[in-house]
Structure 1
């Protein structure tokens, strides 16, 4: 006879303070909000949490606020709400959110959960990297903020310490056109073969990039970000410039061969996506025919 499974403890705090106290007292507890990653792993018996911490009653985590130059998004805000409520001010993140799973998954899945999982293929990560977002983390000992570029430490690993929760993501408002492109067997309900976000800052005349599913962690492409664009003469933008940008993005990737694609294909796809994304943001910003 099979031995009975031990019953997991379940904590359902009413506010953030209670949640942090519960987590400090029970560091083995696994936080759960949407559960779209965790419960799949539980169903497939890849993990068996000894305790779970339900975050769904915590109003602070389910709210977003306008902070002036940025939007503070509570870690429990769903992808569906990002699409519906923040597409104007955070178009790149909203575009990525639209590619996450099915409508049912977008109604449950949260940006904070995506970050906590820290998958290299997380759809929300490239737009956050491209815009220079900041992650707000809390524990019973206090709060700290971490730049998104420093948050990921390895495949499905991050700087989160035992007893810490992601409470919010602070994302700068768009100061120019943004793009998110995802390569897969279909547009949604699929893990990306690779993905790319590009954000154009017209005020600072700066470009930002974020690469997904093409390295051990989500990546940026600093050499591509530094490409010289014809800000003073937008009509001088041409295909050669777009293709050079694509080459630099592909060079920044660190892909592997796996069941979804080869490293060579990922680099090729990123180069094509990057050139296409740069043409699109440049056209949206300047209306030049060269950016077709």
Structure 2
């Protein structure tokens, strides 16, 4: 196994072009575990640790641009106001040591259906900035996941950054696991209200071959909120609306039975989480919380 250690982004892209099968490493929280257990033995490892701008984020107005190696700890400490859903999910990732090393870029590269950052990225509306020696392209996050642990990157591409739309309303995240800490999600659900556009977005993790949005549930809830005049009045969401939203969210799932939970349990849990996150988010909206805030 050869270890490649570029000193600049240009060198990293050149190395990836020369060795398309090279596996990029930043935090190493997924890749090194696979190597240590002999589940993967790549010919080349591409260490991105010396490329400084991957570890930075920028406020771009409507979006926050997260470098691929910005660790979860910084998202929690510095970006909880503009990216509340992602910050909530980041708090559930592994141990403090993992949160200090792991990153959204690594989560995207692994493309596991159970990745904690995927549901809030889907709910917030994010784009993946993929780069190669051929240029840069933006991939909507819902188009990035192509299968179990597969993504839309070309062999010569690397994730350089993730552009996440700033919150204009409350966002929530919920996760079910087999214990309270350091756990892989049995399933997860994220919800974001976008009052400026009168829309709702969701994200579901570990309940289908890829992370998915519950589009029918989103459309139903947005229409119900508009028809009832709830965006303007801030009145409580009717129980029948919350129940239908939960059922449609569960219907978006295509889960499997595995050692962490059954398909039936995952569908039930997603329905419960959908109702709970809607309740939490709507109460925050009624109190005027969760609106867009400046970056730290």
TM-score range, shorter chain: over 0.9
In the alignment, the residues of structure 1 paired with residue 81 and residue 271 of structure 2 have an alpha-carbon distance, to the nearest angstrom, of: 27
In the alignment, the residues of structure 2 paired with residue 225 and residue 168 of structure 1 have an alpha-carbon distance, to the nearest angstrom, of: 27
SS of alignment partner, residue 145 of structure 1? strand
Partner of residue 166, structure 1:
159
In the alignment, the residues of structure 1 paired with residue 19 and residue 81 of structure 2 have an alpha-carbon distance, to the nearest angstrom, of: 40
User: Which residues in structure 2 correspond to 1:102-117 (within 5 Å)?
Assistant: 102-117=95-110
1 or 2 for the larger relative contact order (CA 8 Å, sep ≥6)?
A: 2
> Where does the alignment leave 5 or more consecutive residues of structure 1 unmatched?
1-7
Normalised TM-score (structure 2): 0.93
8 Å CA contact retained: 2:234, 2:285: no
Normalised TM-score (structure 1): 0.94
1:236 positional shift: 4.6
8 Å CA contact retained: 1:99, 1:189: yes
Partner of residue 5, structure 1:
none
1:187 positional shift: 3.6
SS of alignment partner, residue 175 of structure 2? strand
In the alignment, the residues of structure 2 paired with residue 287 and residue 192 of structure 1 have an alpha-carbon distance, to the nearest angstrom, of: 30
In the alignment, the residues of structure 1 paired with residue 82 and residue 232 of structure 2 have an alpha-carbon distance, to the nearest angstrom, of: 25
8 Å CA contact retained: 2:178, 2:260: no
In the alignment, the residues of structure 1 paired with residue 15 and residue 150 of structure 2 have an alpha-carbon distance, to the nearest angstrom, of: 23
1:186 positional shift: 2.7
SS of alignment partner, residue 254 of structure 2? coil
Partner of residue 237, structure 1:
237
RMSD of equivalent CA atoms: 1.1
Select which of 193, 215, 222 maps to 1:222: 215
> Where does the alignment leave 5 or more consecutive residues of structure 2 unmatched?
289-296
Partner of residue 33, structure 1:
26
In the alignment, the residues of structure 2 paired with residue 63 and residue 201 of structure 1 have an alpha-carbon distance, to the nearest angstrom, of: 26
User: Which residues in structure 2 correspond to 1:82-231 (within 5 Å)?
Assistant: 82-226=75-219, 227=221, 228-229=224-225, 230-231=230-231
User: Which residues in structure 2 correspond to 1:250-261 (within 5 Å)?
Assistant: 250-261=250-261
1:11 positional shift: 1.1
Partner of residue 36, structure 2:
43
In the alignment, the residues of structure 1 paired with residue 201 and residue 106 of structure 2 have an alpha-carbon distance, to the nearest angstrom, of: 24
